[in-house]
Structure 1
Amino acid sequence: MRLVQLTVPTGKRQTILETLDDRGIDYVVTDEESDRDYTAVVYFPLPAPAVEPVLDELQEAGVGEDAYTVVVDAETVVSRRFEALREEYEEGDVESDRISRQELQTEAESLTPTFGVYSTMTIISAIVATAGLLLDSPAVVVGSMVIAPLIGPALGASVGSVIDEEDLFVESVAYQFIGIIFAIGAAAVFAWSVHVTNIVPPGLELAEVDEISERLAPDLLSLAVALGAGVAGIVSIATGISVALVGVMIAAALIPPAAAAGIAIAWGQPAAAIGSTALVFVNVLSVNLAGLLTLWYLGYRPESLFELGPTEKRVRKRVVGLVVIVLVFSVFLGAITYSSYQAGNFEENAREEVILALDEEEFEQYQFLEIEVLMDEDYPIQSPERVIVTIGGPPGETAPGLASELNQRVEQHADGDVDIEIRYVNIVEE
């Protein structure tokens, strides 16, 4: 529910009150004696979905931006006429539950802090995420997402596009790309400092840290996170629901990959940063694409009908551009996904070959215990580099021909040379 406070311009009092009467809206009028260009202030409650059409109709009646219009939340309204008004506008779906275009713009602008606060909080969140990744701590990584101020610019670009507020669009786009640069830069500087000061073990391998390695070789499922965050963010802001948790989801799509890219740069492995950097950009673009489509679906349009055609054309161009770029990045992520799929198949085939080899009569005294496939460090598209096979057998015995047998069997499933390492575990049966 909303309470609208509207200043009545000189000569428009009767027109405004007739408009409200025609709509069946209760109102209270107080005379204004400040000797300015308006003669009264009218107060009236509205259901949230009714704010936009009513304000648009009043604007057509002559209430322009030179008059003050204040929309505030109302906790309770007790009125039969208000209940009838609510039944008229509230249909129980997302489209009818959305806030007005005017409130949407205000909400989008309020979610974006000043540049100093935005840059500071982005840098801090990137540093915390970097520490969490190096510690291999999911809890710390989640904490970095909570403080990241990314939801405002991520949603502001979509809002500015559909309601034809180019200043909001340009500012939001600039904030997003500056945020990406600051996040990756801060992560790289922090990671380099802890690396050279040996705060982390000198021999730390990025591939051995799960929180890092999974972001250096992202797959197509990452798109689902970004698209879901974009839709959820817009639905939250458009329906007046708290966006705090959705902000964490958007940060989850951006901050950890940016931190992983910074770590790879600090470790002197710029090629390893390609996958995570691509993930950051594709996530940013996907959030904007999902937000843009969702806002248009919810029915948000420019204030003036004369601006509808140009705005619709501009939105269509931006959607097409975003779709093309996201598809290009998706091909890249698809290649990484296919590489992971091939690695999974290789491990399964290698396991089967080892079991079959040990089933042969000359190796029947040995038992298969475990297989581990180690990937190379050619991020983001990795290939199997070494296979470690652990088998059990009688104490002090080895199988001289087993290594060559396994090497022949396993390599037929690999695209290149793969080293085979056999580890023996003594098994004593009593």
Structure 2
Amino acid sequence: MRLVQLTVPTGKRETILKTLDDREIDYVVTDEKSNREYTAVVYFPLPSAAVEPVLDELQEAGIDDDAYTVVVDAETVVSRRFESLREKYETGNVESERISRQELEAEAESLTPTFGIYATMTVVSAIVATAGLLLDSPAVVVGSMVIAPLIGPALGASVGSVIDDEELVFESVLYQILGVVLAIAAAALFAWMVRVTNIVPPGLDIAEVGEISERLTPDLLSLAVALGAGVAGIVSISTGISVALVGVMIAAALIPPAAAAGIAIAWGEPSAAIGSTVLVLVNVISVNLAGLVTLWYAGYRPEGIFSLAPTEARVRKRVAGLALVVLVFAVFLGAITYSSYALATFEEDATSEIELVLEDEEFAQYQLLEFEVTTDQEYPFLGPERAVVTIGGPPGEGSTALEDEIYERITAQTNADIAVEIRYIGLVER
């Protein structure tokens, strides 16, 4: 529910009150003495779904942007006419559940802080995320998402597109670009300082850190996170639900991979930064695409009827362009996913083949203790480089035949040029 406070321009009083009477809207009028341009202030309650059509009709009656229109939340309205009004506008479909276009625009603008605060909070969140990744601490990484101010710019571009506010679109896109650059740069600088001052152990292999490695080789499932964040963000902002938790979800799609890219750059491994950088970009685009489609589906349109056709054409072009870019990135992520799948399949098949060899009576005295695959570090498409097989058996004994058989079975599972190392550990029964 909303309470609308509207200043009445000189000569428009009867027209405005007639409009409210025709719609059976209760109102209170107070005379205005402070300004000759306005003769009164009208207060009237409305269901949330009625705000946009009523304000549009009042604007057609002569209320322009120079007049003061204030829309605030109303906790309770007790009125039979209001209940009838609610039944008229709240039909249970998507459009009846959303806030007005005017409120949406104000909400999108309020979610974007001034550039100084935005830049500061983005840098801080990137530094915290970098620390969390290097510590391999999911809790710290989640903390970095909470302070990231990304939801405003991430959703502002979509809002500006559907309501024909190109200034909001430009500002939001600019903020997003600068946010990504600042996050990666801040993460790289902080990670470099940590490395050269030996705050982390010298020789730390970032590929061995779980929180980092999973973002250096992203897969197609990452798209689901970004698309879900975009839809959830728009649903939250357009229905007046708290967007705090959704902001964390959007930050989850952007800040940790940006920090991982910065760490890879600081470690002198630019190829390792490719996957996480692509993940950041595709997530940014996916959030915008999901938000744009969701807003248009929810029924948001520009204010003027003559702006509808150009805006619709522009939105379609942007959706098509964003979808095309997401598709290209999806192919790239699909290739990474396939590479990871092939690596996992090789390890599983090779393990099965070794176990089959050891089931032979000739090698009954041996058992597989461990099978480890080392990747080639050619990010983001990792492949097997070396396989280490640890065999347990009688002390001081080895088998050339076993070694040859294991080597053939392992190399048959991959087209890569892979080195095979077989280690023996003596087992003594007591």
TM-score by length of 2: 0.98
Q: What is the match of residue 199 of structure 1?
A: 199
* Mapped contact 1:6–1:43 kept (Cα < 8 A): yes
* Mapped contact 1:7–1:69 kept (Cα < 8 A): yes
Q: What is the match of residue 50 of structure 1?
A: 50
* Mapped contact 1:7–1:68 kept (Cα < 8 A): yes
CA deviation digits over 1:213-271, x for unaligned, max 9? Answer: 11111111100000000000000000000000000000000000000000000000111
Structure 2 CA distance, aligned partners of 1:96 and 1:356? 64
Q: What is the match of residue 388 of structure 1?
A: 388
CA deviation digits over 1:93-151, x for unaligned, max 9? Answer: 43211000000000000000000000000000000000011111111100000000000
Shift of residue 58 of structure 1? Answer: 0.6
Q: What is the match of residue 75 of structure 2?
A: 75
Q: What is the match of residue 278 of structure 2?
A: 278
Shift of residue 11 of structure 1? Answer: 1.0
Structure 2 CA distance, aligned partners of 1:210 and 1:415? 27
Q: What is the match of residue 214 of structure 1?
A: 214
* Mapped contact 1:94–1:239 kept (Cα < 8 A): no
CA deviation digits over 1:163-195, x for unaligned, max 9? Answer: 000110000000000000000000000000011
* Mapped contact 1:389–1:420 kept (Cα < 8 A): yes
Q: What is the match of residue 254 of structure 2?
A: 254
Alignment of 1:4-23 (within 5 A): 4-23=4-23
Aligned CA RMSD, in angstroms, stands at 1.1
1:414 is paired with a residue of what secondary structure? Answer: coil
Alignment of 1:34-183 (within 5 A): 34-183=34-183
2:44 is paired with a residue of what secondary structure? Answer: strand
- How many residues end up aligned between the 2 structures? 430
1:401 is paired with a residue of what secondary structure? Answer: helix
What letter is aligned with 1:191?
A
Q: What is the match of residue 306 of structure 1?
A: 306
Moved over 6 A (4+): none
* Mapped contact 1:7–1:38 kept (Cα < 8 A): yes
Structure 2 CA distance, aligned partners of 1:153 and 1:47? 28
Gaps of 5+ in 1: none
Structure 2 CA distance, aligned partners of 1:134 and 1:174? 30
CA deviation digits over 1:200-221, x for unaligned, max 9? Answer: 1111111101111111111111
1:270 is paired with a residue of what secondary structure? Answer: coil
Q: What is the match of residue 332 of structure 2?
A: 332
Shift of residue 153 of structure 1? Answer: 0.1
Q: What is the match of residue 372 of structure 2?
A: 372
Structure 2 CA distance, aligned partners of 1:14 and 1:192? 69
Structure 2 CA distance, aligned partners of 1:89 and 1:365? 80
TM-score by length of 1: 0.98
* Mapped contact 1:403–1:420 kept (Cα < 8 A): no
Shift of residue 72 of structure 1? Answer: 0.4
Shift of residue 38 of structure 1? Answer: 1.1
Structure 1 CA distance, aligned partners of 2:35 and 2:286? 52
What letter is aligned with 2:85?
L
Structure 2 CA distance, aligned partners of 1:331 and 1:322? 14
Q: What is the match of residue 354 of structure 1?
A: 354
Shift of residue 89 of structure 1? Answer: 1.4
What letter is aligned with 1:55?
L
Shift of residue 423 of structure 1? Answer: 3.4
1:3 is paired with a residue of what secondary structure? Answer: strand
Q: Which shifted more, 379-388 or 224-233?
A: 379-388
Shift of residue 405 of structure 1? Answer: 1.7
Structure 2 CA distance, aligned partners of 1:74 and 1:351? 66
Structure 1 CA distance, aligned partners of 2:347 and 2:287? 35
Percent of paired sites with the same residue: 76
Structure 1 CA distance, aligned partners of 2:222 and 2:166? 30
2:400 is paired with a residue of what secondary structure? Answer: coil
CA deviation digits over 1:32-74, x for unaligned, max 9? Answer: 1124211110000011111001000111111111111000011
Q: Which shifted more, 87-96 or 312-321?
A: 87-96
Q: What is the match of residue 415 of structure 1?
A: 415
1:207 is paired with a residue of what secondary structure? Answer: helix
